[in-house]
Structure 1
Amino acid sequence: MKKFCVQLTGHNYLLPYDGEPRKMGFRATRIVRANSPEEAGVLALRSLVRDPRLVNDLLNGRQDPSTLAIDSIQRLGLFKGWSTAGKGLDFFFEDLPGDTSSREETS
């Protein structure tokens, strides 16, 4: 199997922040092993759709769905330093014009 770097962006995630619901987006990078770029994209999306930090805290109703999109997929070389363990999310606020604050959550 080959290794791929998949960069994704989520938008319109209504999540609790300091006790209040906030519209947030996030960026994520996932390193996955797959046979093709298409499979890599599916695996990366699946990892985020099932991420308990997003699933358990999501406050959106059906009428206001969140979105998740693949920004890029790149095949990685043979460098063995690439890990498939990345689970971080880089959040940003979407509900205030000009608000560029962000919080990074890794584990």
Structure 2
Amino acid sequence: MEQNLTMEQLERYESAFDADLAKKVAMRAVTANGIVKAATNPEVMRKDRHQFSVMLEQGKITNQKQSGRCWMFAALNTMRFAVMQKLNLESFELSQNYT
């Protein structure tokens, strides 16, 4: 069953949209900020607590010193923990220069 929209239907939809203040506010929010920002619920973000209950002893902390390689340091620190456990080491560092 095929149905086409008529100009009359489109005009009714437009009039109904224009008469609804909430829809117009939503349209402005999406237009100005993008759909992701407009749809983000700050209350949910506020309630989301990033708490972790697992603490790992990994020896001395490595510092990327604003090098923009945080992803590499995080991966190497995760691997470092496994190496330290396997070799029974108190401290150990993998080289970030040779990854």
The reply to whether TM is greater than 0.5 is no
Q: TM-score, length-normalised on structure 2?
A: 0.22
Larger relative contact order (Cα-Cα within 8 Å, sequence gap ≥ 6): 1
- The structure whose residues are more often strand, as a share, is 1
Rg (Cα) greater in structure: 2
Q: TM-score, length-normalised on structure 1?
A: 0.21
